[in-house]
Amino acid sequence: MTHVYDNILGLIGHTPLVKLNKVTKDISATVYAKLESYNPGHSTKDRIAIHIIEAAEKKGLLKPGSTIVETTSGNTGFSIAMVSIIKGYKCILAVSDKTKAEKIAYLKALGATVYICPANVAPDDPRSYYEVAKRIASEIPDSLYINQYFNELNIDAHYQSTGPEIWKQTEGKITHLIACTGTGGTLSGSAKFLKEQNPDIKIIGVDASGSILKGFKDTGKINSSDIHPYQIEGMGKNLIPSALLFDKIDEFVRVNDEMSAYRTREIALKEAIMGGYTTGAVVQGLLQYGNSHEFSTDDVVVAIFPDHGSRYITKVYSDQWMEEQGFINNGVHNYEEVFKTEVIK
């Protein structure tokens, strides 16, 4: 029998490329979206979860009944919880209080124990989700801390899978790769592979306004004045992850909450693709990049859409939430007018 799998983990990877036709109409290049929502856990994080956990199994670090601990904004947690169910592990996750209730409910539905931690504290604060996860892992015998931000296997997962898939799917014609950066593993691993095939491929990282990553790339220094609260989950950081290979990234673009939210809605309305908040962010980043860089008709751009919009129904897809953020003026839901007039420099 073909296309029959022993369990759901067999569906990880080999996600499709889909051409964008309307939201990128002002860009001369051909733009494809890599739809990571087609992974069984509905995000690109499935790739690192299975890769890191199976590597730990080979080293004898995990056995049935072991506990896996991780810090997550949601997607990595879903993936780890999914893999843990199939492989017989316990799962404990530390999330920030930016994480919406439906994500937490989803994690619990997959059997995870969830600790909710304040988002707007320093990374080394004992209340931060980084420190909470470390503490829990140190206290529980026979546990493994995934530590995606500082785990080189995060990069290797995408070097082994995402990068080769994109190269094959574009028949080596890709000229630009763009993706949001949080841990940095998706873009770094893909970029590492693609640069080995063709060093002229441009790698563009998308950072959040409120994050330090773009500033660090530009100056080599952490500028604390860059840090302020923001709403986009799963991208940007107030620390420098070792899973982010700055030398593989040619340029960063910084996007804000508002235009990323509008762009997420526009992609759904015009392309019928229900992407997450970071999907809107990566397209907004591409459009901003296109304002200062001239694409040719021969250019082939791949934008990684990391997850599915179903996890943001009460956030970016909610008119009430948009209005509460001040993104909808006077309750007028005229997204088209906003797209025509709002330009981020």
With contact defined as beta carbons under 8 Å apart, do 134 and 57 qualify?
no
How would you classify residue 77: left for phi > 0, otherwise alpha for psi between -120 and 50, otherwise beta? alpha
Q: Which helix (H) or strand (E) holds 109?
A: helix 101-109
Strand pairing class (143-145; 67-72): parallel
- Which position among 34, 45, 103, 214 bears the catalytic label? 45
Is 45 among the residues known to form the active site? yes
d(CA 199, CA 203): 10
d(CA 57, CA 205): 32
Largest CA distance in the chain: 59
Helix, strand, or coil (residue 227): coil
Integer-rounded Cα Rg, in Å, for the chain is 19
Q: Which helix (H) or strand (E) holds 287?
A: helix 277-292
β-sheet bridge partners, residue 307: 43
How would you classify residue 111: left for phi > 0, otherwise alpha for psi between -120 and 50, otherwise beta? left
**Which residue, among 257, 262, 235, has the nearest Cα to 317 in the 3D structure?**
262
**Which residue, among 185, 105, 112, 110, has the nearest Cα to 149 in the 3D structure?**
185
**Which residue, among 84, 129, 150, has the nearest Cα to 233 in the 3D structure?**
129
- Non-local (6+) Cβ contacts of 199 within 8 A are none
Quote the crossing angle between the two packed helices 75-87 and 45-58, to the nearest 10°.
40
Active site members = 45
